[in-house]
């Protein structure tokens, strides 16, 4: 089994696309009016509208309602990413800190409130 993507459901697809392309530096592929993908090394962030979920996925997800999952991005230098984003309007949850398990990480929220962890492994046990 292969994890294909993490899909985020939103009522503001343009806003979420702009946020994730800014965060990751990767372009979005707009595959339909209500669906886009941001393809990263090893993962895809898919973004769709709640209207598309109602139409094609049995209304199984509600936009901006998540409070239990964390979307995680591994980067070479979390402090550099923090510096790049620091002048922008970001909903910061936690500035970069070193975790006891050897990751340096920061937490922020996307425009829909989804929790994002951006981290660097300080100990190279990938």
On whether the CB atoms of residues 75 and 69 are closer than 8 A, the answer is no
The residue among 88, 122, 94 whose CA lies nearest residue 106 is 94
At residue 30, the pLDDT reads: 98
At residue 2, the pLDDT reads: 87
pLDDT < 70 positions in the chain: 124-126
At residue 123, the pLDDT reads: 77
The H or E element spanning position 94 is strand 91-98
Q: Which residues contact 110 (CB under 8 A, 6 or more apart)?
A: 8, 16, 19, 20, 23, 71, 91, 116
Token duo for residue 18: 């702009």
The residue among 72, 65, 90, 58 whose CA lies nearest residue 11 is 65
Dihedral sign (CA 19, 53, 62, 117)? negative
Angle at 38 between CA 59 and CA 89, to 5 degrees: 90
Kindly list the structural domains of the chain, giving each domain's residue range(s) and its CATH number in brackets, ordered by start: 1-65 (3.10.180.10), 66-126 (3.10.180.10)
At residue 44, the pLDDT reads: 97
């Amino acid at each position: 089994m292969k994890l294909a993507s993490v899909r985020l459901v939103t009522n503001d697809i343009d806003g979420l696309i702009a946020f994730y392309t800014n965060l990751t530096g990767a372009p979005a592929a707009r595959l339909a009016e209500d669906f886009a993908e941001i393809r990263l090394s090893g993962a895809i962030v898919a973004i769709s509208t709640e209207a598309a979920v109602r139409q094609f996925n049995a209304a199984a997800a509600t936009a901006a309602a998540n409070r239990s999952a964390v979307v995680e991005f591994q980067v070479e230098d979390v402090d550099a990413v923090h510096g790049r984003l620091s002048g922008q309007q970001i909903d910061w949850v936690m500035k970069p800190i070193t975790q006891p398990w050897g990751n340096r990480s920061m937490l922020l929220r996307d425009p829909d409130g989804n929790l994002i962890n951006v981290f660097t492994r300080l100990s190279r046990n990938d």
